[in-house]
Structure 1
Amino acid sequence: MSTTTEDATSDPMSDPEFRERLRELPPSAKLVAKVLEGSSPLSQGQLAEESLLPDRTVRYALNRLEEAELVGSRHSFHDARKQVYFLAN
């Protein structure tokens, strides 16, 4: 039983509450979340490249994910001018 709890904390997508909040968001936000599930943290530019979405759509998706508290951000260790995004646990 404890394995399920550990999996839920290490993989937000397996958390039913996380999935329910994500279900209410637009398709672009779902795609960005799926990209972040596979490889994160990523910058907005990297997300646009990986998802094949325009920068503006990625920004909109990130805003919606942040409002729903499904994604977190921090400054990049490689370039402090950039923010990188990751799924919130």
Structure 2
Amino acid sequence: MSTTTEERAGKGESPMADPDFRERLRELPPSAKLVAKVLEDASPLSQGQLAEESLLPDRTVRYALNRLDEADLVGSRYSFHDARKQVYFLVN
């Protein structure tokens, strides 16, 4: 069963510490690595929040999230604050 960044935060664990996670991340473009790092520090975040925190354009963040999703490194759910938005978090 995979764990989320939110669950690991309570345990003091970082997804970047997992060798399998790091190996899958290594194959991705730099934008995906930056988005993963932002999600490691502050999660869950919406696409707009990720763009603001990473200083990347929306389109690049969308591409990075798609690549992270294809590698099964990121998960999403609807925001509790605004059900029209999805928020993203790292999974392991």
- TM-score norm. by structure 1 comes to 0.89
- 2:38 is the alignment partner of 1:35: yes
Question: 1:28-80, CA deviations, whole angstroms, 9 ceiling, x for partnerless residues?
Answer: 00000000000000000000000000000000000000000000000000000
User: How far is the alpha carbon of 1:11 from its aligned partner?
Assistant: 1.7
The structure with the greater share of residues assigned to helix is 1
- CA RMSD, Structure 1 to Structure 2 (Å): 1.9
Q: Distance in 1 between matches of 2:21 and 2:47?
A: 21
Structure 2 residue aligned with 1:3: none
Structure 1 residue aligned with 2:53: 50
Q: Which amino acid aligns with 1:18?
A: F
Match among 14, 21, 25 for residue 22 of structure 1: 25
Q: Distance in 2 between matches of 1:41 and 1:70?
A: 13
- 2:15 is the alignment partner of 1:12: yes
Q: Which amino acid aligns with 2:54?
A: S
Q: Could you tell me which runs of 5 or more consecutive residues in structure 1 were left unpaired when the two chains were aligned.
A: 1-5
Structure 1 residue aligned with 2:85: 82
Structure possessing the higher radius of gyration over alpha carbons: 1
Q: Sequence identity of aligned pairs in percent?
A: 84
SS at match of 1:20: helix
Q: Which amino acid aligns with 1:84?
A: V
User: How far is the alpha carbon of 1:10 from its aligned partner?
Assistant: 3.2
Q: Could you tell me which runs of 5 or more consecutive residues in structure 2 were left unpaired when the two chains were aligned.
A: 1-7
- Count of residue pairs the alignment pairs up: 84
